[in-house]
Structure 1
Amino acid sequence: MEERKSGFQQLDYTLLFLLFVLMCFSLLAIYSGSGQYHSDPMHYVKLQLIWFGVGIVAMVCMMVVDYDLFKNFSIPLYGIGIVALLLVAFSPLGVFRNGATRWLNLGVTDIQPSEFVKIFVIMAMAHLLYKITSQRTQKDLKSDLVIVGKVFLVGLPPFFLILTQPDLGTALVIASIMATMLLMSGISWKILVFLGLAAVSGLICLVWLHNYHFDIFSIFIEPHQLERIYGWLAPYEHQGSYGYQLVMAIRGIGSGQLYGSGFMQGVQTQSDRIPEIHTDFIFTVIGEEFGFIGATILIITYFLLFYRMIIIALTCNNMYGSYLVAGVIGLLVFQVFQNIAMTIGLMPITGLALPFISYGGSALLTNMLAMGIVLNVNMRTKHYMFEAEEEAL
């Protein structure tokens, strides 16, 4: 028997509360870390509040439309995203800034299409996987290879277009979405292991090319990307150049110790020694001023957020909804891991923001749209009384 509930009764208030906690972290960290960049210490906080407001409206709009209808326009949106990336790369509308061409000039403002392409890729990939898995009658190697081929067909074009901007961080997010969707599709673990080994082999090949055929290696890796790798592998040897940002971040987080130096009391945070501290390196503010306890609370908040999303994906009785949520999980988990890991020296530095925390419009709006998809799926998941008993029978 179906247990009828209205949409608002099925609204996941736990997810909303966790988002509110992340918003509080964001505003406190931005206020503390951005005062050095503007005469008005509230300047970036006000802008972030505006973006949160826009993001909440976008999230609600995403929740209002039945997610099953996303199938009707997922492919057209994906096509629009690819066209936008092509315009960035090959048209005069592409804006070169900070060593990369990632923005599209629309006259009134600049937008970063790669941020929205993440959502379009999730929608298109979920649609194609749903069609394939719902029609196949048995699991075999051929059907598994078809799934892998479809995922690569959707994911690789935006991956390479974003990689050439160059924007390695966002390209890796696309790869993370692809990996998560493949895992959710239920293909053979042997194929997953093979793909993993292929990725590792690619990295080994790049290292070999770097050591013995640097001219070929330089075709694949941009000079500034190589500098970041040098700064990551030996930050203290290059602390006057490539490793400066990482060394300052590690010093800041380390000086926070258990309880932190106190709000607005961080030496590294308040001294303007860490570039982009209110955006890419905002975790340094939390680690230095709120200490190990504050950083742990933030990480636990993320863990609970992802746990709730995994539960929603597993309990959804519509595979299309499960694929959508799985894509969002792949989108957010990698960004959180990469951003935090790069500030403590576990991963090379990339331009990825910390979801819901870092200052920025396009990234925050994209993440709020993604959360709207998750909440949408949960609101429209049908629950049945005595479901466990019925399955047992």
Structure 2
Amino acid sequence: MIRTLIAAIKSPLTTGPMAVRGFPRLVAGQFTSSIGDMCTAIALPWLILSVSGGPVLLGSVLACYGISRAVTIPLGGILTDRYGARPIMLSTDLVRCALTALLGVLAYAVTPSFAWLAPIALVLGACGGLFVPASFALLPSVLSDADLTAGNSMSSTATRLGSLLGPALGGILISAFGPGPALFVDAATYLVSAATLYALAVPKASADQDRDAEQAVTFRAVLFRGRFLQIVLVTAAIGNLVYTGVSEVALPALAHRDYGAGGYGTMLAGLSAGLIAGSLLARLEWQGLRSAYLLAILGLVMGLSVALVPFTGGLAGATVCITAFSVANGWSGIVLMTMLQLWAPRHLLARVMSVMLLAMSGTFPISAALSGWAVDRLGVSVLFPVAGCAIAVAILWAVTHSTFRNVNPGDRYTEELEPVAGTAGPAG
């Protein structure tokens, strides 16, 4: 395992995605921005909770952010397909830079209140909703099909590393100076991200191909006739329904019962480390093994490891299971995302990804509520095997469909009900 990870990390610096002008800086910008995001993730609650009525105010502000983000994800897909990923990402980064810096100023100047926090949260959430579909559509526009898996792997690894290191930096800044400096750091990282996006080379040829394809395929046709997309949406919705319940409800409940706060931190560290390892392993090529079968193997690993978490005899065993689950989750996520990015018509890619994002994020409140009820009524130990079975059944159900089973990275959508393997061109 260690040798595999080292081999995945040691990619040539002059070939593949790293040879694309601006791509290394883009990855560095994503890493920096994710550190800043986690600084704000700690600084904003700390700022709000410092006043009376803090929890109610915090919940209200976060609700404003979450609602506006969810509502604008489809709009982000439409605007990205029309104007391109880089302009949308660049403009939203600049807006978020200004607003986060304003938050830092207001943190020193006035008492936190809903009157000024809510409008800022609404705009920040809207920028996030516009940004996310564009971020999924960006790499296919600048990298070749052969380099896309490696590019997704590097991008995901950088973001997750930043998310792992960001809370530590945020905690240090807040402890020493208060929430203001942490917010200023986040504002600066948005500026760094915008600069790396500006420097990124976007081939003009892809835009010409998009205009030609636009005459042939509609989003409605892809959504209602694309069986591969439909299967992926169902599988992703079930997977994220389970993941939310396990990570946000079952895991802290188990730790609170058996391992304490320190044990919970240990398992969360395993969860984060596993996602990073899975992102790196996704770069490996498996000759002769269809992507659907690789996903099936990873799905079974996820299902089995989740099911065994409460039954391994202690914290060490539970952490090993959580880490194994997280490795397979990070790996399968990169493989599936790359397949979908290559399958979707290029001029509709952001809209396709926005639907995928809605299928994933829309399960959060349902999963949290159902998992809370299940833990309360059935006990936390029961939820893990149920979740494991759901994951395994979902991926095995997907593999039973030839439309899903026969698709590999590089296969494209066509106007037929079934995608055709190896079809050239963005529209098939």
How does the TM-score come out when normalised to structure 1?
A: 0.30
Which has the larger helix fraction? Answer: 2
Per chain length, whose mean CA-contact separation is higher, i.e. which structure has more relative contact order (CA < 8 Å, sep 6+)?
A: 1
Q: TM-score, normalised by structure 2?
A: 0.29
